[in-house]
Each structure stands twice: as structure tokens, then as C-alpha cells.
Amino acid sequence: MVKDMENKEYISLISELSDANGISGFEDEVLEVIKKHTAGLGKGYRDSLLNYYLEDGRDPSLPLVQLDCHTDEVGFMVKAIRPDGMLEFTTIGGWVVTNIPAHTVRVQTADGSYVLGVIASKPPHFMTEAEKKAPLEVSSLVIDVGATSRREIIEDYRIRIAAPVVPDVTAYYDDKHDKIFGKAFDNRMGCASSISVMKELKDEKLGVRLTAAFASQEEVGVRGATVTANRVRPDAAIVFEGCPADDTVVPDYQVQTAVGKGPMLRHIDARMITNPRFQRFALDIAYELGIPVQEAVRTGGATNGSVINLSNTGVPAIVIGIPVRYAHTHYGISSVSDFANGIKLAKEIIRRLDKDTIGSF
């Protein structure tokens, strides 16, 4: 019963964070959800980049562990308004162009509300053979909210240049198969992880103190974490991510981030070699306690760990990633059991950290 209640809380939290709108630089709505779920857990405040910090208030003489995640999601931004009322747009974060068209989106208006739009392309009935064979480009796509003129967009819909645009997706949980569907699991999974760890360790005596830093603008170059790491100045860091699942795109023997097989601990990516001593410490705990984990060696991609581990005089950091199929598209698929095991592992790691242990890293 306790497990069922815990999972229901996790599902509700992930869903609420997933449904919130927040492309890079416009994460206000996500922060409101975070504030709601962290009330009473410590001192919370934000900075001008919309990074949000939550300090647990433990003894300031204890070593400090930063729990990192990022609040932003990939999306779009209105670039121009055509005379016929179509919206030209640019991408925010990494997209494969062929994944963009024929989906609905939410376009922010001047009063902060959102209107529904469709990402449209030229119908095949009006395309030449050369156009049909040409590579798809963002410049050939538009967002159609149903308007028929520029005046209508500006005066009636009240949509402005630089309006943020997010995928129009509502989270859904498949209880029978333990799968959750939704947008922005990269990285609202991480946000839910930081919140859950802070909440579940609130009343425990620890050998460290915790600051959760909810960083903005990761998808456009880990910008928020560049600031949070230098403001928090941690002694160690745990980076929570919604990481791309590979179980549908590589041969079985190469799979390292499968949905339903546990959180992924990444040894290396394009911008970070994980501290091997901290990594081994975390993996040994997982194996000792029977917590399912996956190990990955990546040649591409990066996380906020890339700037946190190089900040100040150097910070030992690990990445706990929740596998997400189809990250950086409208729809992600993840397993709540992977999320729960990531929380379990993080809590056990934190319980065993102290000054000497961190010093050994």
C-alpha cells in the first residue's frame, strides 16, 4: 500500500511538471509548480536567469551536496508573422526537423495564456516533384492558429514576436504496463527527482547538507548551471537527467539506457568524464542493495554536470539519468519504476556521504 501511494505521488508530480509550459528562458510556470511542491522544505529563492534554489537549512559546517536538474524543455519561438496570419518560428534546443510537423503546439499570448496551433507544411497537392524530394527545413514550416491575417494575430490573438511555443501534450500513465507518456521528460524527470529527494530526506540526520538547484536554459548550452554551480559552490553534486533511451535504436548488445531496466549512470559523454571514484561509490551501493542500474559510455550529448564538475576548484559529480524514449520530440515514454529506483539510489548515496567520503573522491 505504501509503495502504491508513493508511486501515485510520483506519477502526479511528474505529470504536473511535464504539463507545465517552459522553454529555455521562459520557465516561470515550471518554477511555480516547483515552489508548490517544495513549500516547507527549506529556503527557496530564484535569480535573474530563473534558476531556482532550495536550501535545506542543515548545519552550515557540513559539506554541501548540490542536487541539480534543469527546468527548461525544447520548443520553439515565434520569429515572424506573415501577412496571411501564419507564424514563422525558430527552434529552441535540439530538434530533428522531420519530427516537428503535423503536431499541435501551445503559443503564448501577450497576457501569458496559451492558444492552440498546428505546425503546418505545404500540402503535397501543391508541391512540385522537386519540393517533395527536397530535405525538410524549419523555414518551410509555419504555425497555424487559425488566423487569416497579421492584424488578427496581433489584435485578436495577441501573439507577439518572440512568443514561446511548447508542444501540446498532456501526460498519461499506463498503470498496466508502468509507462508514463508526456512531454518534457528531459528534464522534468530530473525536477521531480530533486523535489522527491529533498522531501523524503527532510527529517533525516545526514553527514551533508543539501541545496537543490533547478537550472534554466540547459537545452541551449547549460547556461543556468554555469551560474548555479558558482552560486552554490558545492563539495559534490548529483545531476538528475531525463536521458535518451537507446533500446529501440541500437542492437541488443549495445543497449545501455533501456526503459524499465533502472536509472542510468553515465561514465562519459561529449563534455564530461564522470569522477570515477564517485561513480564507483554510487554503483557499489546500487549493487549492494540490489537497485537496478545501467551503465553508459556516450560519445555525444552532455548535461549540467559538464559545467558543475569544472566549477570553482573542481566538483566530483555523477549523473543519474531516467531513460526517456524519443527525447527532444513531442512525446516521451518512461517507466515510473526507473524514476523510483533513481530516487532510492540517490537517497542511499546521500545517506553515506560525509566530509571524509567526499574527500576521497
181-239 pLDDT, tens digit each: 999 999 999 999 999 999 999 999 999 999 999 999 999 999 999 999 999 999 999 99
| pLDDT 10s digits, 279-327 | 999 999 999 999 999 999 999 999 999 999 999 999 999 999 999 999 9
Mean pLDDT for 107-125 is 96
Please state the domain extents for the chain.
Answer: 2-73+183-360, 76-167
Tell me how far apart the alpha carbons of residues 361 and 359 are, in angstroms, rounded to a whole number.
5
Instruction: Indicate if the pLDDT at residue 160 is higher than 50.
Output: yes
Q: How confident is the model at residue 96 (pLDDT cuts 50, 70, 90)?
A: very high
| pLDDT 10s digits, 37-73 | 999 999 999 999 999 999 999 999 999 999 999 999 9
Instruction: Indicate if the pLDDT at residue 141 is higher than 70.
Output: yes
Q: How confident is the model at residue 3 (pLDDT cuts 50, 70, 90)?
A: low
CA distances from 134 to 34, 99, 121, 129, 262 (A): 44, 16, 13, 9, 41
- Residues above pLDDT 90, as percent of the chain: 97
Tell me if 2-73+183-360 shares its fold with 76-167: no
Mean pLDDT for 236-250 is 97
Mean pLDDT for 116-121 is 97
The CATH number of the structural domain formed by 2-73+183-360 is 3.40.630.10
Instruction: Indicate if the pLDDT at residue 86 is higher than 70.
Output: yes
Instruction: Indicate if the pLDDT at residue 330 is higher than 90.
Output: yes
pLDDT at position 1: 40
Instruction: Indicate if the pLDDT at residue 152 is higher than 90.
Output: yes
Check if the beta carbon of residue 166 is closer than 8 Å to that of residue 106: yes
Q: What CATH architecture does domain 76-167 belong to? A: Beta Barrel (2.40)
Check if the beta carbon of residue 77 is closer than 8 Å to that of residue 93: no
Mention every residue, 6+ apart, whose C-beta is less than 8 A from residue 89.
76, 77, 78, 79, 138, 141, 142, 143, 165
**Helices and strands in the chain, H and E counts:** 10, 17
Mean pLDDT for 330-346 is 98
pLDDT at position 6: 75
DSSP annotation of 181 reads E
Per the prediction, the chain carries an average pLDDT of 97
Mention every residue, 6+ apart, whose C-beta is less than 8 A from residue 216.
24, 25, 27, 49, 50, 51, 70, 71, 72, 223, 224
Instruction: Indicate if the pLDDT at residue 4 is higher than 90.
Output: no
Mean pLDDT for 77-82 is 98
pLDDT at position 2: 45
Instruction: Enumerate the β-bridge partners of residue 144.
Output: 118
Tell me how far apart the alpha carbons of residues 319 and 308 are, in angstroms, rounded to a whole number.
11
- Residues above pLDDT 70, as percent of the chain: 99
Count other C-beta atoms under 10 Å from residue 337's C-beta: 18
Mean pLDDT for 105-114 is 97
Q: Is the dihedral of CA 353, 212, 313, 293 positive or negative?
A: positive
